[in-house]
Amino acid sequence: MSKIVATGKTIEDAVAQGLARWGVSQDRVSVQVLSQPSRGFLGLFGVKEAKVELTLLPDGAGGELSGKEVPPAGMHGVPAKEVQIAHAPIMTQEPAATSMEAVDAEVDALEGKDPYQEAIAFLIETGQAMGLDISVEIEKGKDYTTLQISGAGLGLMIGRRGQTLDALQYLTNIVANRYSNSYLRIILDAENFRDRRRKTLEDLADRLAGRVQKTRKEIVLEPMPAAERKVIHAKLQSHGVVKTYSKGEEPNRRVVITPSRAK
């Protein structure tokens, strides 16, 4: 007997895709589920479609699954589950139009939501998953909007040198821009960590510049994200005795503080 594997957002969609490829109705096939659909992390990452295997039955055989039939091996060697799904009609152009209507409806739903509120909801949900009770305030600026997080135990959301906060900022921008027709730039902050981190980097730049000026030997800093490298460069750009540049490839790009040629 012929077999095909089909995928879709749901098991029903996957079966319909398989039936359309063969041009047969549900009673001409047996269906076995190879994998269930998954929304992934917050519906953004790791989304997995349903996967089914359709077996074309001989003429005269019904589409009912036999209880004695041994299902083939599924994922990881575990026998795949057998399911019975309501008879699906042969796919024509009409279901395709219905599918397009569903897409339009989803687009309309996205456009009807406030991107900043969706971003805040994402952060609160993430905080709850981390065991934190947080609140978020919006501070709108000319070029970007800051979402300021408040609450107890925010060190968990900030992470070492702000690495977790940077990762959450990246995800927050993705969430917000799903609901916006124009690009939105969001800066994520937690109890003014960004300002405190900038002050720490500026103080570091001053100390290291003094050391380079005294020893006349360059200093290579540890890898930093682009935003933090920019703070170092900006702080020392008018120093006169030392200069800075970056070297290496992301994510291991570093700032180098070196003596200026002229003294």
CA 106 vs. chain centroid, Å, equals: 19
34-58 pLDDT per residue, tens: 888 876 555 555 567 888 998 888 7
Give dist(CA 13, CA 230) in Å, integer: 49
- Residue 202, judged by CB atoms within 10 A of its CB (0-12, 13-18, 19+), counts as middle
Tell me the percentage of the chain whose pLDDT exceeds 70.
75
Q: Residues 174-188: what's their mean pLDDT? A: 93
- Of 32-41, 64-73, 111-120, which gets the smallest average pLDDT? 64-73
Percentage of residues of the chain with pLDDT beyond 90: 51
Confidence of residue 216 (pLDDT cuts 50, 70, 90): very high
Of the chain, the end-to-end C-alpha distance in Å amounts to: 85
Cβ atoms of 231 and 196 closer than 8 Å: no
Average pLDDT over residues 207-219: 96
- State the Cα angle at 163 between 158 and 168, rounded to 5°: 70
Residue 77 pairs in a beta bridge with none
Helices (H), the chain: 11-22, 93-111, 115-129, 155-158, 163-178, 193-215, 226-236
Domains recognised in the chain with CATH numbers: 3-110 (no CATH), 115-191 (3.30.300.20), 195-259 (3.30.1370.50)
Has residue 261 got a pLDDT over 80? no
Q: How confident is the model at residue 20 (pLDDT cuts 50, 70, 90)?
A: confident
